[in-house]
Amino acid sequence: MSLAKPYDSPVPDRSWKTRKFVADYGVYIALVILLLVGAVLTPKLYSVDTIAVVMRQASQLGIVAIGQTVVLLVAGLDLSVGGIFIMISVVVAEVGNGRNEMKYDIRDCVLGFS
């Protein structure tokens, strides 16, 4: 007569299956829930204009991410990308507000980053 231990059961516990399902697909389920909540709260969230604005804003970061990936793949390490990205964002914002006399600010930023 053998005594089986409780954890030697051939049928896995139901809570274990639930945990595995949440661990495997929980991020996707949360993403779908967030997308649905966003669609309900903001009806024009998925319009062509809104998606175009999001893509335009994300394109700068995407280009920098691609460049940084190439730098890391060739065994280089360039940590100045974040600082340069922030500096360019500030310059673009200032010029967009009508301030065109930025030569001293740019010089100070370049000296500060070098």
pLDDT tens digits for range 15-57: 888 889 889 999 999 999 999 999 999 988 889 999 998 888 8
91/105 Cα distance (integer angstroms): 9
Task: Supply the DSSP string of 27-42, one letter for each residue.
Answer: HHHHHHHHHHHHHHH-
Q: Does 86 lie in the same domain as 69?
A: no
Same domain, 41 and 55: no
Number of domains in the chain: 3
Residues 83 and 110 in one domain: yes
pTM: 0.46
Which two structure tokens, joined as six digits, stand for 67?
Answer: 């460049």
d(CA 29, CA 33): 6
Give the pLDDT confidence of 55-114 residue by residue, as tens digits. 888 887 888 788 878 877 887 766 676 777 777 777 777 777 776 665 555 666 666 555
Q: Which domain holds residue 107?
A: 79-114
Question: Do residues 20 and 38 both lie within one domain?
Answer: yes
Please indicate, yes or no, if residue 39 is contained in any of the structural domains: yes
